[in-house]
Chain A
Amino acid sequence: MSITTLSPSETQSQGRGDGRWSERQLVAIGLVALAVALALARPLLPEWTIVRVEEGLYAYADWLDAVFNFVRDDLGLIHLTRAIAGGLEYLLDATANLLYGKKRWPHLGPIPWTALAAAAGVIGYYLGGWRLATIGAGTFVWAALIGQWSIAMQTMSVIAVAAPTAFVMGLVLGIFAWKSRPFEAVLKPVLAILQTLPFFTYLLPAVIFFKVGPTAGAVATIVYALPPMILMTTLGLRKVPPEAVEAGKMSGCTRWQMLRHVYIPSARTEILVGVNQVFMLCLAMVVLTAFIGMPGLGGKLLAMMNSFKLGRSFEIGVTIVLFAVMLDRLSKAWVVKQPEHFERGTPWWQRHAYSLATFGGFAIFVLIAFLVRDLPNVPVKAVGDPEAEGSFFGYVGGVLDEVGRKQSLTQGKGIDKAIKGFLGIDSVQAVTEWLRWFLNVWILIPFRNALLWLPVPTVILAIGALGYLVGGARSALIGAGFFAFIASTGWWDRAIITLYTVISAVILATLTGLPLAIWASRSEKWANRILLFCDTAQTFPSFIYLIPAIMLFGVNDVAVVFSILIFTLVPLTRYTIEGLRSVPVELTEAADMAGATRRQKLWHVQLPLALPTMAVGFNQAIMFAFFMVIIAAFIGTQDLGQELQRTLAGTDLGKNFVLGMCVALMALVFDHIIMRWSTDRRKALGVD
Chain B
Amino acid sequence: MTNSIKKLAIGAAVAALMAPNAMAADSSDPIVIPIHNWSSQIVMSHAVGQIFESMGNNVEFVTTDSQAVYESVRLGDVTLELEVWEGAFGASFRAALEKGGLHDAGDHDAVTREDWWYPMWTKDACPGLPSWEALNECADLFKTAETGDKGRYLDGPVDWLKHGKERVEALGMNFTVINAGSAAALWAEIGAAEADKRPVVVFNWTPNFAEAVWPGEFVEFPEWVEGCDKDPSVGPNPDALFDCGNPAKGYLKKAAWDGMVGKWPHAYEVLTKISFTNAQIAEMAKLVDVDELEPEEAAEVWLENNEDVWKSWVN
Contact = CB atoms under 8 A, between A and B. Distances in A.
Given A295-B63, A429-B195, A634 B182 contact: yes
Interface string B168-212: 000000000011111111011101101110000000000001100
Contacts of A634: 181-182, 184-185
Nearest to A217: B63
B181 A555 contact: yes
B144 interface: yes
Contacts of A299: 37, 63
Given A423-B195, A424-B196, A634-B184, A555 B189 contact: yes
The size bracket of the interface on A is 35 or more
Interface string A177-215: 000000000000000000000000000000100011100
Given A634-B184, A636-B157, A423 B64 contact: no
Contacts of B308: none
Contacts of A551: 188, 191-192
Nearest to B92: A649
A683 interface: no
A522 interface: no
Contact of A552 (B62, B154, B192): B192
Contacts of A303: 37-39, 42
A420 B190 CA distance: 12
A405 B293 contact: yes
Contacts of A463: none
Interface string A278-322: 000000000000011111000100110111110000000000000
B38 A306 contact: yes
Given A211-B77, A308-B213, A555-B178, A302 B37 contact: yes
B195 A424 contact: yes
Interface string A541-559: 0000011001110111100
B146 A556 contact: yes
Nearest to A651: B71
Contact of A649 (B159, B180, B182, B191): B159
Interface stretch (A437-445, A502-510, A606-614): A437-445
Given A303-B37, A308-B188, A637 B181 contact: yes
B42 A636 contact: no
A635 interface: yes
A440 B196 contact: no
B147 to A, nearest CB: 9
A673 interface: no
Contact of A445 (B39, B63, B146, B297): B146
Contacts of B183: 306
Interface in B124-173: 144-146, 154, 157-159
A649 B184 contact: no
Contacts of A441: 145-146
Given A547-B188, A634-B182, A213 B65 contact: no
Contacts of A207: 68
A294 B64 CA distance: 7
A211 B78 CA distance: 11
B154 A555 contact: yes
A17 interface: no
B86 interface: no
B146 A650 contact: no
Contacts of B288: 307
The A contact surface, by secondary structure, is helix
A655 interface: no
B304 interface: no
Contact of B67 (A556, A642, A649): A649
Which residue, A299, A423, A433, A638, has most C-beta atoms of chain B within 10 A?
A423
A141 interface: no
Nearest to B159: A646
Contacts of B223: none
A632 interface: yes
Interface string A646-675: 101111000000000000000000000000
A436 interface: yes
A632 B92 CA distance: 25
Given A293-B65, A302-B37, A636 B179 contact: yes
B115 interface: no
A412 interface: yes
Which residue, B77, B178, B179, B188, has most C-beta atoms of chain A within 10 A?
B188
Interface in A514-570: 546-547, 550-552, 554-557
A633 interface: yes
Contact of B65 (A307, A413, A649): A649
A634 B183 CA distance: 9
Contacts of B37: 299, 302-303, 306
Contacts of A307: 38-39, 187, 209, 288-289
B184 A306 contact: yes
Contact of B180 (A293, A413, A636, A645): A636
Which residue, A295, A303, A547, A557, has most C-beta atoms of chain B within 10 A?
A303
B200 to A, nearest CB: 9
B269 interface: no
B112 interface: no
Nearest to B190: A308
B294 interface: yes
A420 to B, nearest CB: 6
A636 B185 contact: yes
A674 B26 CA distance: 63
A635 B39 contact: no
B88 to A, nearest CB: 11
Contacts of B39: 303, 307
16 contacts: A212-B78, A213-B63, A293-B65, A299-B37, A306-B182, A306-B183, A307-B187, A307-B289, A308-B188, A308-B213, A405-B294, A413-B292, A436-B144, A440-B146, A638-B179, A649-B68
Interface of A: 207, 211-213, 291-295, 299, 302-303, 305-309, 405, 412-413, 420, 423-424, 429, 433, 436-437, 440-441, 445, 546-547, 550-552, 554-557, 632-638, 642, 645-646, 648-651
Given A306-B182, A309-B289, A550-B184, 20 more contacts: A207-B68, A212-B68, A291-B65, A302-B184, A307-B288, A307-B289, A308-B191, A436-B145, A546-B184, A547-B184, A550-B192, A554-B144, A555-B154, A556-B178, A634-B184, A636-B185, A648-B68, A649-B66, A649-B67, A649-B68
The 8 closest A-B pairs by CB, nearest first: A636-B181, A649-B67, A308-B187, A550-B188, A437-B145, A424-B195, A293-B63, A305-B184
